[in-house]
Amino acid sequence: MLPYPHHDIRRVIDLCGLWDFTFLGAIAPEKLKGKINFTDYMMVPQAFDATPAYAGMRGLAAYRKVLEIPSNSAARLRFGAVGMWCRILVDGKRVAEHSGGYTEFWVDIPKSAKIQRELILIVDNQFSYERSPMQEEYFDWYHYGGITRPVSLHILPDTYIKHAVIQVRDWRKGTVDVRLSLGGVNKDTLPVQAAIDGQIVLDRMVAFNNNTATLTLQTPDPRPWSTESPHLHFLDLRLPADDMRLRYGLRKVSTRREKILLNGNPIKLLGVNRHEGHPQFGPAIPPALMLGDLQQLRAMGCNFIRGSHYPQDQCFLDICDETGFLVWEENTGWQQGPRQMSDEHFLDAQERSIDEMVSASVNHPSVIMWGILNEASTDKPESRPCFERLLGRLRELDPTRLITYADSRRERSICLDLVDVVSFNFYPGWYYAEIEDVAEEIQRHVQLAREKTGTVRPFIISEIGAAATFGWRDGHSTRWSEQYQAELLKRVCNEVAANRNIAGLAIWQFCDCRTSESARKALSRPRCFNNKGIFDEYRRPKQAFESIKAAFSSNGHSDPHVARRRRAGKLKN
């Protein structure tokens, strides 16, 4: 699902739809022998283990599709995401393997005189540290399997546009740097044409060094991107035989003491953590539902989403670009300890995944922050080099965005000086202390963030919340009741809105989500769901929805879109 066509000249074949499918059982890929018998069908995108026929199954599954590629032509496949590990075969030959269920990756198809080509994917959703070191069973969300995001086939000329990164150099004047990378046959020079919003801004021979050139372009009629007015510009790049269309927003993210600034103005981030999950689709959320989620958030007065705890669907980020939401985009991780932090195999997988995340998401104006490794053991000496390496990689890939990570070790953490924004996860009134202590605990953490870094920098509450069983409205207002959750979150929102030293809030969490079925987890997770959602898993609001909305609007943080339309005279009070 693309919100706008990415190519006019290049032939792109959408491979979403029905694929041949078979579930092979709980075996290791090395044990797979002989010809695969395809006995069923599966929709792409979809998590196969979210369908009633294969619900909860773990093992290997095979997917097949016949492709048509012009004889001896270059071609590449783009996979939005495959959970969790996959091997890709073309005409029976292994061409690639990929691990990590939430990032986009590309696969080159070997040239052939044959037109019809058989594509087979062996997909594994079994927990295997060897194959999928970034996803482990103990995590507090359910790891689905299958081709969970869209797939497309790109038929390519000999030299083609591989990637283009747009960096805003001056958001007021509309100057942008475009780093253009070529794929296929090397070229030292090539004619390039660039148009912005339909006006040609460059048309000349361009010299490429190692297949890369940086073009500085001027937006003819620059309009800034903001949460209230998320204006997007279109860039069309043309080579003699290929093209690419990209969108960008003219905006700048920076910090000044305890504030996060968007285009020079302080902005308070108010929002939620959101898992990509639904009982019937797993992480393959239909675009209509993505928009529905954002509409609910907007109604509550939110402007911010932390994509917990993995890179988000590109379609979701596209909708955030268009609707003016701000996003914390985070690489996959959950409470890893010293064992993983000091393991090269794990670090390599993290680094590859960070590269893929940045490559796919770098042009989204909605993404203002990168994060890694939720709640890792940041108090252990093994973690410091790991955080230095991975955060360093992020800074190297993208110096224009803020860097953070969600820290739960707080007092004991030894990594907090490495970030631009200090973010703490803590649960007063749920895992410790009482509901009456919420405001004071928040204030204590603001102070703690300053003491730990010895400097004043923005502070975000990256997780806070309480569980409520949908529909359990109990006169006693105990923990697990909707009333308790609503009251706790009201106190959180009021304190955050009133406290000038807090730059942002991401409530845990947008909606209930399926989680690990291990006995250890299940006993504190009724139904094997994490029930701290403001909505249940079908997006039915709990009482907290109204209390958050009331708290944000009474503090002047009402829906920016409503405010804009009101100012424009389109709505009465």
Q: Which residues bind ligand ADA (CB under 6 A)?
A: 140, 374-375, 408, 425, 463, 508, 530, 532
Q: Parallel, antiparallel, or unpaired for β 513-514 and 529-530? A: antiparallel
Query: Closest CB to ligand ADA belongs to which residue?
Result: 140
Comparison of 102 and 508: residue with beta carbon closer to ligand ADA? 508
The string of DSSP letters for 203-223 reads EEEEE-BTTEEEEEEE-SS--
CA 331 to chain centre: 8
Comparison of 375 and 487: residue with beta carbon closer to ligand ADA? 375
Cβ 425 to ligand ADA, closest distance in Å?
4
Q: Identify the three-state secondary structure at position 381.
A: coil
Residue type, 46: Q
Comparison of 98 and 514: residue with beta carbon closer to ligand ADA? 514
Cβ 527 to ligand ADA, closest distance in Å?
14
For 17-137, strand residue ranges (E) read 17-25, 40-44, 60-68, 74-79, 82-83, 85-90, 93-99, 105-109, 116-124
Cβ 336 to ligand ADA, closest distance in Å?
12
Cβ 467 to ligand ADA, closest distance in Å?
7
Of 118, 124, 94, the closest CA to residue 29 belongs to 124
Comparison of 227 and 462: residue with beta carbon closer to ligand ADA? 462
Comparison of 46 and 530: residue with beta carbon closer to ligand ADA? 530
Instruction: Give residues with Cβ within 8 angstroms of 420, minimum separation 6.
Output: 255, 402, 403, 404, 457, 458
Spell 59-76 as b/e; 16+ CB within 10 A means b.
bbbbbbbebebeeeebbb
C-alpha dist (Å) from residue 321 to 263, 301, 489: 16, 17, 27
Comparison of 247 and 309: residue with beta carbon closer to ligand ADA? 309
Handedness of CA 375, 378, 382, 388 (dihedral sign): positive
Cβ 136 to ligand ADA, closest distance in Å?
13
Of 365, 323, 370, 305, the closest CA to residue 505 belongs to 305
Cβ 511 to ligand ADA, closest distance in Å?
13
d(CA 261, CA 265): 5
Cβ 353 to ligand ADA, closest distance in Å?
18
For residue 345, how many other CB atoms are within 10 A of its CB? Answer: 11
Cβ 334 to ligand ADA, closest distance in Å?
6
Comparison of 363 and 530: residue with beta carbon closer to ligand ADA? 530
Residue type, 73: S
Cβ 508 to ligand ADA, closest distance in Å?
6
Comparison of 249 and 465: residue with beta carbon closer to ligand ADA? 465
Cβ 406 to ligand ADA, closest distance in Å?
6
Residue type, 564: R
Cβ 562 to ligand ADA, closest distance in Å?
31
Comparison of 49 and 375: residue with beta carbon closer to ligand ADA? 375
Q: What angle do helix axes 383-397 and 344-361 make, rounded to 10 degrees?
A: 20
Residue 418 gets which letter from DSSP?
G
Cβ 427 to ligand ADA, closest distance in Å?
7
Radius of gyration of the chain (CA): 24
Comparison of 118 and 379: residue with beta carbon closer to ligand ADA? 379
Comparison of 370 and 508: residue with beta carbon closer to ligand ADA? 508
For residue 561, how many other CB atoms are within 10 A of its CB? Answer: 19
Size of the chain in residues = 573
Comparison of 240 and 526: residue with beta carbon closer to ligand ADA? 526
Q: Identify the three-state secondary structure at position 17.
A: strand
